[in-house]
Amino acid sequence: DGGITQSPKYLFRKEGQNVTLSCEQNLNHDAMYWYRQDPGQGLRLIYYSQIVNDFQKGDIAEGYSVSREKKESFPLTVTSAQKNPTAFYLCASRQGNSPLHFGNGTRLTVT
């Protein structure tokens, strides 16, 4: 089945450590996105990529970094510079004006 796989589902890190969240899609979509969701809130865009080897900052990119070396992969690194990293992270993809598809998310807890 085609879809988006995010791993791991739960991630725990100590403050000051960088952590990388995985996102893989087999939908052959050109565009991929990373969103952050805090309790009771909607989604806020961190980074997005419309094509391999290219990406743009979203609304809250500070403290995050991404790479897009392969069409199917768009990993997100949460750096120690991110002040409030504990959140639910969602990866999505789409092709052109087709519906946006989401993975099941990674819940990151930093203590």
Partner 1 sequence: KQEVTQIPAALSVPEGENLVLNCSFTDSAIYNLQWFRQDPGKGLTSLLLIQSSQREQTSGRLNASLDKSSGRSTLYIAASQPGDSATYLCAVSSTNAGKSTFGDGTTLTVKP
Whose Cβ is closer to partner 1: residue 78's or residue 92's? 92
Rounded distance between C-alpha atoms, residue 51 and residue 15, angstroms: 33
Count the neighbouring beta carbons within 10 Å of the beta carbon of residue 104: 12
Please report how close the Cβ of residue 83 comes to partner 1 at its closest, in angstroms. 21
Q: Is 102 in the site for partner 1 (CB under 8 A)?
A: yes
Q: Residues 18, 48, 53, 10: is their CA dihedral positive or negative?
A: positive
Q: Is 85 in the site for partner 1 (CB under 8 A)?
A: no
93 neighbors 29 (Cβ within 8 angstroms): yes
106 neighbors 7 (Cβ within 8 angstroms): yes
Which of 12-20, 70-78, 79-87, 90-98 is the region at the interface with partner 1 (rule: CB under 8 A)?
A: 90-98
Please report how close the Cβ of residue 41 comes to partner 1 at its closest, in angstroms. 5
Q: Report the interface residues with partner 1, using CB under 8 A.
A: 6, 30-31, 33, 35, 40-45, 48, 50, 56, 58, 88, 90, 92, 94-105, 107
